Amino acid sequence: MAVTLLQHPLGGTALDSVLAKIDLALDEIVARLTTPLDVAAANSAGDATRSEWIEMDVSDEWGSLQSEFVARGWSDGLLMAPPTAARVAAMVAGCGLPPEQVIGELAPRLGVATVERIATNAVMAGCRPEHMPVLIAAVQIMADPAFFLKNIQATTHPVTPLLIVSGPLAKTLNVNSGSGAFGPGPWSNGALGRAIRLLMLNIGGGRPGEIDKATLGHPGKYTYCIAENEAALPAGWPTLRAERGFAPEVSTVTMFGGEAPHNINDHESTTAGGMLTTITGSIAQIGQNSIECVAEMLLVLSPEHAATIAGDGFTKDDVRRAIYDDARVPMHRFAQKNIERRLWRLLPQRYRDRPLDTMVVMVQRPEDVIVVVAGGEGKHSMYLPGYGATRALTRPVLRPDGSPWN
Amino acid sequence: MKLCSPEGRAFPTKTLKVADRPRSLEGLRIGLLDNTKPPVDKIMQHLEQRLRERIPGAQPFYISKKIMNQPAGPEVMEMLRQKADVVINGLAD
């Protein structure tokens, strides 16, 4: 494919200036369409499944060696454990799979994620061997084309995969589902989420500022992992993994491409109606992707908020429906150019030629809302706007013989 | 001491044969594919006009993807395969 580059930005600029850039580029566009292409030579450099072992001076483990990691582009800026043969072997042993086994290819580089390479990144992230089965399932998800990792890695939008562990394994691995689930602590959350980031960087090639074009990104791009607080689920509410078709004894990993968590504070409501008024009102904001395309949204209900809602007989589906029906903003709150260029153009059936008091939905369908209960005591829930070109996917965490890994 | 590289390489790629490029766009059907990211619709309409003015007999035509952030579907690709000699697409925003 021949490429003509137009100078950034195009969005948010006057149309005349955009069209002037086209006129300036027209000669080049025509020339590129009529000039023979230089086809890239086939890449056949070595066996992509074989790990590369590099001789390095490890005498200054926390000094010059770290600089070497940075220079090679392997680092997220924090100290990393050196992936020695012994550490990598121990990490591989944590999942019981052969080191050369290919789990998937991670976009956009389509780097091959072998068990040994996943283990190497896990070592560098500070994981323990027992974390490996979760990482294997996470790589299976990220390698699934339906997850659209390529888009997540390259977009300007602040999206990154949140890893959600559901089931008995969360307790075994000490993945925090309670107080401060999104925050720091002596849990497995930090290392697991960081390993995901390093896998995206080192195998997928999502180097910040180069492939990763995030305008601002968000702190979850360092590490982003929680567990479902199953013990705090209201009676009758299904677990995340049950909603996704898995048996109670099967632990699962779900990955959701989302923004940073946004707080929903309600210390006063004692009814489902009151609580949902606060939740839908908090979600009704005009700057999110799901307004203009099909995009999922994750609602993380605190146990106390969930109990209040369920106490009035409301189900998770009722919550989804309330968000679809009531989390809306009148069109007149949107800037005129966004109405014309986004709402009218991308969703004409909903918004074209409609009056300005038309209510704009925050998700296109109720089923695009994922509801999870997590967190500890207190009256704060959170919602994570989605990105669009990704769907949350769930994989079971299984032993090599196919039995549940708990 | 030897350390394991965390980097993943891609499987070997094959060189695909690409269609020969035309020497001129004169008389050709030029597909203008809208990636749905505003203002690419205006850009493509402008390009359509400029190509008609500039290239004798050129037949530029406009077609749009259905969904932002997702690949053009098989219907769009088939339409381009059948009706376009060359295609101009927009990426990013």
Q: Reply yes or no on whether the pLDDT at A172 is more than 80.
A: yes
B83 within a domain of the structure (yes/no): yes
pLDDT number for residue B40: 87
Return phi, psi of residue A83, to 5°. -85, 80
Exposure b/e, A43-70, CB count within 10 A at least 16 = b: eeeeebbebeeeebeeeeeeeebbebbe
Window from A186-200, A328-342, B62-76 with minimum mean pLDDT:
B62-76
Pairing relationship of beta strands A160-166 and A225-227 according to DSSP bridges:
parallel
- AA identity, residue A205: G
A283/A10: higher pLDDT: A283
B1 within a domain of the structure (yes/no): no
pLDDT number for residue A32: 92
| Mean pLDDT of all residues in A294-309 | 97
pLDDT number for residue A8: 84
Residues 6+ apart with CB under 8 A from A147: A141, A161, A255, A257, A390, A391, A393
Cβ neighbours of A64 in B, within 8 Å = none
Average pLDDT, chain A: 96
In sequence order, the β-bridge partners of residue B4 are A53
pLDDT number for residue A42: 63
B81 within a domain of the structure (yes/no): yes
Show the tokens assigned to A200.
């995206």
Q: At what angle do helices A303-311 and A272-283 cross, to 10 degrees?
A: 130
Chain A, window 137-166: residues with a beta carbon less than 8 angstroms from a chain B beta carbon: 148, 151, 155-156
Q: Reply yes or no on whether the pLDDT at A283 is more than 70.
A: yes
Q: Reply yes or no on whether the pLDDT at A43 is more than 70.
A: no
Q: Is A120 on the interface with B (CB under 8 A)?
A: yes
Render pLDDT for A112-125 as a digit per residue (tens, 0 to 9).
999 999 999 999 99
Closest to A109 (Cβ–Cβ): which among B8, B24, B38? B8
B11 within a domain of the structure (yes/no): no
B18 within a domain of the structure (yes/no): no
Chain A, window 322-341: residues with a beta carbon less than 8 angstroms from a chain B beta carbon: 341
| Mean pLDDT of all residues in A183-203 | 98
The count of C-alpha atoms lying within 13 angstroms of the C-alpha of A266, restricted to the half-sphere facing its C-beta, is 25
Nearest chain B CA: its distance from A246 CA (Å): 28
Cβ neighbours of A81 in B, within 8 Å = none
Exposure b/e, B38-67, CB count within 10 A at least 16 = b: bbbbebbbbbbebbeeebeebbbeebebee
Residues spanned by the domain of B51: 29-89
CA A219 to centroid of chain Cα atoms: 12
3-class secondary structure, A286:
coil
Q: Reply yes or no on whether the pLDDT at A402 is more than 70.
A: yes
Give this complex's ipTM: 0.91
Q: Reply yes or no on whether the pLDDT at A270 is more than 90.
A: yes
| Mean pLDDT of all residues in A32-47 | 77
B42 within a domain of the structure (yes/no): yes
Q: Reply yes or no on whether the pLDDT at A91 is more than 80.
A: yes
pLDDT number for residue A400: 96
B40 within a domain of the structure (yes/no): yes
DSSP structure string for A340-365:
IIIIIHH-HHHHTT--TTPEEESSSS
| Mean pLDDT of all residues in A71-98 | 98
Render pLDDT for B21-61 as a digit per residue (tens, 0 to 9).
999 999 999 999 998 887 888 899 999 999 999 999 999 99
Ramachandran category for residue A266: left, alpha or beta (phi over 0 → left; psi -120 to 50 → alpha): beta
Q: Shortest CA distance to A65 belongs to which of B1, B65, B92, B64? A: B1
B69/A54 touch (CB, cutoff 8 Å), yes or no: no
In chain A, the domains with their CATH numbers are: 57-259+391-406 (no CATH), 261-327+362-386 (3.30.1330)
**Distance in angstroms (rounded) separating the CA atoms of residues A286 and A334:** 7
| Mean pLDDT of all residues in A324-339 | 96
pLDDT number for residue A10: 83
Structurally, how many domains does chain B consist of? 1
Q: How confident is residue A389, by pLDDT bands cut at 50, 70 and 90?
A: confident
Render pLDDT for B61-88 as a digit per residue (tens, 0 to 9).
999 887 776 778 899 999 999 999 999 9
Q: Tell me how many residue pairs between chain A and chain B have CB atoms under 8 A apart.
A: 163
pLDDT number for residue B16: 77
| Mean pLDDT of all residues in A341-346 | 90
**Distance in angstroms (rounded) separating the CA atoms of residues B31 and B85:** 8
The pLDDT > 90 percentage for chain A reads 91
B76 within a domain of the structure (yes/no): yes
Residues 6+ apart with CB under 8 A from B26: B55, B56, B57, B58
Chain A, window 30-49: residues with a beta carbon less than 8 angstroms from a chain B beta carbon: 30, 33-37, 39-46, 48
* C-alpha distances in Å from residue A21, one per residue of A9, A13, A86, A219: 10, 11, 56, 36
